[in-house]
Amino acid sequence: MSGVNKVILLGYLGADPEMRYMPDGTAVANLSIATSESYKDKEGNRQERTEWHRVSLYRRQAEVAGEYLKKGSMAYVEGRLRTRKWTDKEGQERYTTEIVGDRLQLIGGRRDGDGQESVNGGSKTGRTAPKGSGGGANMDVPPDDFDDEIPFAVAADIARRGLRRVRF
pLDDT at 109: 52
Taking the C-alpha atoms of residue 32 and residue 14, their distance in angstroms, rounded to an integer, is 6
* Cα separation, 43 vs 91, whole angstroms: 47
pLDDT tens by residue, 105-146:
998 754 343 444 445 444 443 433 333 333 434 434 444 444
Percent of the chain with pLDDT over 70: 64
* Structural domains of the chain in order of their starting residue, each with its CATH number: 7-142 (2.40.50.140)
Return the higher-pLDDT residue of 56 and 142.
Answer: 56
The yes-or-no verdict on residue 47 having pLDDT over 60 is yes
